[in-house]
């Protein structure tokens, strides 16, 4: 007697079920170290954009990206000086 199709995959969720459950997924929390690393990535990307724009002869764009890059570094430094930023173990 057949009751229904036999599931052959190990994945317990189908695509429609995953879409239905997505609103109930917990929001990811970013740690202070993760936020610090992300801010430094932003600063590096801005510096690279500056170099890219300067290479294309777009000096006004290059000047903008060069000017805004330190903002992310300053935010990262403020975060690092905060009490939430735990020191690494020795």
Q: So what's the pLDDT on residue 10?
A: 60
Residue 18 and residue 24: Cα distance in Å, rounded? 10
- The SS3 of residue 22 is helix
Q: pTM of the full predicted structure?
A: 0.63
Min mean pLDDT across 4-8, 20-24, 55-59 is at: 4-8
Tokens 């890059």 -> residue:
69
- For 31, the token pair is 């740690």
Domain ranges of the chain: 31-81
Number of neighbouring beta carbons within 10 Å of residue 7: 9
How does the average pLDDT of the chain come out, rounded? Answer: 84
């Amino acid at each position: 007697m057949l009751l229904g199709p036999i599931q052959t995959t190990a994945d317990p969720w189908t695509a429609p079920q995953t879409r239905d459950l997505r609103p109930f997924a917990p929001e990811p929390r970013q740690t202070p170290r993760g936020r610090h690393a992300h801010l430094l990535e932003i600063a590096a990307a801005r510096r690279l954009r500056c170099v890219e724009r300067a290479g294309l002869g777009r000096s006004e764009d290059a000047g903008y990206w060069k000017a805004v890059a330190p903002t992310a570094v300053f935010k990262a430094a403020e975060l690092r000086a905060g009490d939430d930023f735990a020191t690494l173990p020795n």
